[in-house]
Structure 1
């Protein structure tokens, strides 16, 4: 092989090597960016069976394949519940009805908040049937889902510790985003005005995720 041919061969192979390095670098950067921007896995929602405002049983399996946002409130709440429910109502108005999305509000006061009470409460908020569910049931089961399943703190205030007749329960003001596989992927302060935008962004991202 003469020297010009040998030099040309080295140039060609060198160029191919540079192209391969560039392609690998671009792939690595894209993978790093994707992992960096990936939503965290905060836990798995445990199995549950509670009753919604229409008297129908709702389970974890019923919500699989859907993206959902959950919070915990109660209808006699004198504190942040009104603000939280307002944010939920705004989310309902901003979300497309033709996508697999659910809004879920648990009650911290299941003994008072029967399906009938929750139905009236939901109607007052303009809750769309089939899109925004209010769940009640046995107190132990509701609290188990809230604390262990959704990582939302809730407790009843002892009678001798209440500062007023309305001081019945303490509960989290967080909103939790759950993906189609029943995994918690984000939590947001439900009393913070900027949370609405953040929740919508997370919902859109979760809708785009492909299920395994």
Structure 2
């Protein structure tokens, strides 16, 4: 089984399924993306705006239904990305050991962009599964290292509770692009790395 990335928001009808679809559209089938809500009503359909945005910006069409966050979901996740700090706190409350792999989506994206700008990229020749593991470790090791901009509160507001869909999803789209940048990096594989990968494959 490959890496599993869990997206968390409140109702699991707008932000988290939107992020799930956009990430799936960028990274394909090598990573399993799924989403849950901290206060979701099981079986509710996806927000119409979210579904349309994902379809228009990634081509992904999913028959989404809301599901509540459970401890089993947290345990099964390689990386957990939340819309807000409150939801991150809820994940950690449910499973304290998940703290090292739980981030707000905007904080993870901001740190990933900072890593890329500093020339920090995954090991040459690594596959996507190993790149996800690398990114989780780098995000945890560099908490607080990435500089904040004026508007960097790392909170993605709920469009159904005061936020506005166009602004929220524009930020969401940008965050997904920044987060995916180091995972999709295609650098040269050095001679010693080719030899190491051949040896690993033959073993």
* TM-score, with length taken from structure 1: 0.33
- Answer 1 or 2: which has greater strand percent: 1
More helix as a share of residues: 2
Highest Rg: 1 or 2? 1
